[in-house]
Amino acid sequence: MNTEILFVDDDPDVLAGYQRSLRKDFKIDAALGGATALAQISSRAPYSVVVADMRMPGMNGIEFLMELERTAPDTIRIMLTGNADQKTARDAVNQGHIFRFLTKPCPQEELAFSLRAALKQYQLVTAERDVLERTLNGSARMLSDILATHDASAFGKSQRMRDYMRSFANHFQLKQTWDLELAAMLSQIGCVTIPQAVLERFRAGRPLSGAEADMVRRIPRIGHDLLSYIPRLESTAAVVLYQDKNFDGTGFPADDVAGEKIPIGARILHVLRDLPANDLTQASTKKALENMAQFSGRYDPRVLEAVAAIFDVCLARATPAEPQPRSIWIKDLRIGWSLAADARTRNGVLIVPAGAQVSPMLLEKLRNFSALGDLEEPMLVTG
């Protein structure tokens, strides 16, 4: 765990004094002023604790701590100032969201006690986040594996959506992308409740009964409701729910949500999923986006422009050499490898689509088919 503490002040002598008096017990770093501190923080891993003076030229302590909260929200913030009036303290707590407010001159024992408490608080915050992320990632992987075992086609589509969403987020340097990628990966999870025969008729463009058409239309609602059972996935569930919603407010679900009120992740997903499923060349993607732009009110125009910019850049880059696929038997298949071709039964029924990464559940499924003598082997894989 990072245990380094940053002191921020406009007086170099004060900073040197902190380093001399505290270096035996703490890992201390220093920055002369708020702007310097922010540049220093952006170039390295976040500090556990930051202690800032209130009165600094250019950017005062509250302004600095507000910006610090935006760029490094887990860092514990302490205000240390000679200005002890009530308004300063109130503003520091309410706007800077500080952990402690200390006044100068602060006895070394009190400062050391506050720093230890802040380090402990940082440990609690980061530990809770780590558990939450691992829990969410585990839940998402389990749901994705369930989708893969139930509906290989929907699983393949969800993996493409995740990859597209990741490219979108990376291109625009979005800081928080896990919820967008998760929504893309689980966008098809509602398919697990639909009979396979209904899904096959729908994908083949064959007529559906009224009840069957309603099932398919409600796939985003089903996915939303399934994800709603998992705490902290409210934003992900909302993206899944509104993935079929048109920018003008038409489409599913039938409510008054439209335009900018539709979650941005859903607006992105609405565009990405209608791109060509295969052969994403620059020409095919450009043509698809031009065709999509003709449907007034269906897509967010700014998202269409952004997606066009992404694929113009990404597809123009030199593509690194892909690892060569090799043939293996199921006994040699390993978790983490990717299928270079569809895994099918001996009768040609799709089990797992090409491009899928082998998870423990998928490996078990393929082994079961092999044990029954119903897996077409050897298989093409990369990894």
The predicted-structure confidence for 236-255, as pLDDT tens digits, reads as follows 899 999 999 999 999 999 99
User: Do 170 and 268 fall into the same domain?
Assistant: yes
User: Which pair of tokens denotes residue 372?
Assistant: 């029954």
User: Do 188 and 100 fall into the same domain?
Assistant: no
Domain boundary pick from 290, 316, 342? 316
pLDDT of residue 76: 93
The per-residue pLDDT for range 34-58, each reduced to its tens digit, is: 999 998 888 887 899 999 998 888 8
pLDDT of residue 277: 46
Closest alpha carbon to 187 in 231, 229, 143, 149:
143
User: Do 311 and 331 fall into the same domain?
Assistant: no
User: Do 343 and 241 fall into the same domain?
Assistant: no
Let me know: does 227 contact 236? Beta carbons within 8 Å: yes
User: Do 208 and 271 fall into the same domain?
Assistant: yes
Q: Provide the residue type at 75 as one letter.
A: T
pLDDT of 209 > 90? The answer is: yes
User: Do 289 and 342 fall into the same domain?
Assistant: no
How far apart CA 101 and CA 65 sit, in angstroms, is 12
Number of structural domains, the chain? 3
User: Do 339 and 293 fall into the same domain?
Assistant: no
3-state secondary structure 287-305: HHHHHHHCCCCCCCHHHHH
User: Do 305 and 339 fall into the same domain?
Assistant: no
- Which CATH number does the domain housing residue 10 bear? 3.40.50.2300
Q: For residue 142, is it within any domain?
A: no
Quote the domain boundaries for residue 52: 4-126
Give the chain's mean pLDDT: 83
User: Do 240 and 372 fall into the same domain?
Assistant: no
317 confidence band (pLDDT: 50, 70, 90): very low
How far apart CA 90 and CA 62 sit, in angstroms, is 11
User: Do 269 and 340 fall into the same domain?
Assistant: no
How far apart CA 325 and CA 341 sit, in angstroms, is 9
pLDDT of residue 284: 66
User: Do 215 and 305 fall into the same domain?
Assistant: yes
**DSSP 8-state symbol, 209:** -
- Which CATH number does the domain housing residue 370 bear? 3.90.105.10
User: Do 199 and 73 fall into the same domain?
Assistant: no
The residue written with tokens 């969403």 in the block is: 165
1 confidence band (pLDDT: 50, 70, 90): very low
Closest alpha carbon to 4 in 28, 20, 33:
28
pTM: 0.60
Strand partners, 5: 28, 49
Half-sphere exposure of 30 (CA within 13 A, CB side): 15
Look at residue 113 and give its three-state secondary structure.
helix
Percentages helix, strand, coil for the chain (3-state, rounded to 5) are 55, 10, 35
Measure the CA dihedral 283/286/287/288, to 10°.
120
The per-residue pLDDT for range 102-142, each reduced to its tens digit, is: 888 888 899 999 999 999 999 888 887 777 677 767 777 77
